[in-house]
Amino acid sequence: MVQTAVMGVSGYAGMELARLLLRHPSLAGSRPLFLGRAEGIPEPLAAVHPQLMDNNGTGFGPGALAIEPFSWELLQSRGVKFLFLATPHEQSREWVPEALDHGLRVIDLSGAWRLAERANRAVYKFSNEGSPIAAQVQTKAIYGMPELHRDEIRKADLAANPGCYATSIILALKPLIAAGWVDLDRGVVCDAKSGVSGAGKAPSAKTHFMHAADNLSAYGLFSHRHTGELLEQLDLAPEQIVFTPHLLPIPRGILSTIYVWLTDLHQPSDVEALYRSFFAESPLVRVFPAGQLPQIQYSANTNYCDIGFHLADDGRRCVIVSCLDNLLKGAAGQAVQNFNLMCGFKEAEGLI
């Protein structure tokens, strides 16, 4: 039996983590420990997320799932081995070193440890940037994208979960770039759109109903936090890629439309074969037949990333469309995928 704990369960990604872990077949009989603020008091999980009410019909009685005040002593007394952090970047930056010191293996959903290059981390303005402890922890962090780093994740003590936009774009581009098929001198354009839940649960003026409903807006031009992930994982220079995120007036889902020029002439069957070969061992990536494109509604509420493309008649211009659920494959589902690898379970266990 593997004992897990989730910090940050009150948020959208935290709720999805709780749902996935409670239904995980290898965790039957070993309920996750749900954690809240250290200075708080225990409260029923159903009071925060009624959709996770347990089967006694109330969720508030004896034995009901509860959110308990956080302490390292509590984790130790309950025999926790894996800690999921669905917490803000700054909090994960502070807690991960302590968690590792306590012998825990960590799956962090924030951006605290995703980026290997200091220049790319600068966007977060971490207060402990450059400290010896932060530098040491960063060397242990594995970018938690199983399709790219499966073997390293299996052995990792710290899996740094990718960003949701980054997941959709990296998976769509990596096969072509790794094969040397993309003409990087012409540049890559990524036009990505996300549902409102991608901004997190805390309300803001831009996620307010009056702003988001019946609207479509661009934001974070040349400054979005996920840009560094694209540069590092695709081995690109900043001038080789333009990434523009947009806010969609829907609860969840991401659709990324990516425009590239290929270095040589290819047939649609060539491109499809390349994608299918690259993702042959990746159970949570679905490659669409040439000319067929995914839509948000196909991947919403699933743990899949769907990828399709259309190649122009000239054999050089290619448009790739990538869709995923930002709370699942873009967050909680990918975290559980990493957990499965770290435990030696089947990669897609509890996710399909």
What average pLDDT does the segment 299-309 reach?
98
DSSP H helical ranges for 214-321:
227-234, 268-278, 296-299
Distance (Å, whole) CA 265 – CA 317: 9
Global confidence as pTM = 0.96
CA angle 105, 111, 117 (to 5 degrees): 100
What average pLDDT does the segment 272-277 reach?
98
Mind listing the pLDDT tens digit for each residue in 74-109?
999 999 999 999 999 999 999 999 999 999 999 999
Structure tokens at 244: 């523009």
Distance (Å, whole) CA 95 – CA 97: 6
* Per-residue CA distances from 160 to 54, 65, 174, 202 (Å): 30, 27, 19, 22
* Per-residue CA distances from 306 to 194, 285, 309, 350 (Å): 15, 6, 10, 19
Domains of the chain and any CATH numbers:
4-162+331-343 (3.40.50.720), 164-325 (3.30.360.10)
Mind listing the pLDDT tens digit for each residue in 16-53?
999 999 999 999 989 999 999 988 889 999 999 999 88
The pLDDT assigned to 270 comes to: 98
* Per-residue CA distances from 196 to 51, 162, 219, 308 (Å): 20, 18, 13, 24
Contacts of 292 (CB under 8 A, 6+ apart): 308
DSSP H helical ranges for 4-145:
12-22, 45-48, 72-77, 89-101, 118-121, 132-140
Percent of the chain surpassing pLDDT 70: 98
Distance (Å, whole) CA 168 – CA 306: 9
> What DSSP state is assigned to residue 249?
S
Distance (Å, whole) CA 133 – CA 260: 40
For strand 254-261 and strand 317-324, is the pairing parallel, antiparallel, or unpaired? antiparallel
CA 293 from centre of chain? 22
11 contacts 42 by C-beta, under 8 angstroms: no
Q: Is the pLDDT reported for residue 58 higher than 70?
A: no
215 contacts 250 by C-beta, under 8 angstroms: no
Distance (Å, whole) CA 216 – CA 193: 9
DSSP 57-91: SSSSSTT--EEEE--HHHHHHTT--EEEE-S-HHH
What are residue 335's phi and psi, to 5 degrees? -65, -45
Mind listing the pLDDT tens digit for each residue in 195-205?
999 988 888 88
Structure tokens at 184: 């990087």
Contacts of 226 (CB under 8 A, 6+ apart): 163, 164, 165, 166, 169, 243, 245
Q: Is 164 a catalytic residue?
A: yes
Structure tokens at 18: 């709780």
The pLDDT assigned to 40 comes to: 84
What average pLDDT does the segment 113-133 reach?
97
Distance (Å, whole) CA 92 – CA 7: 10
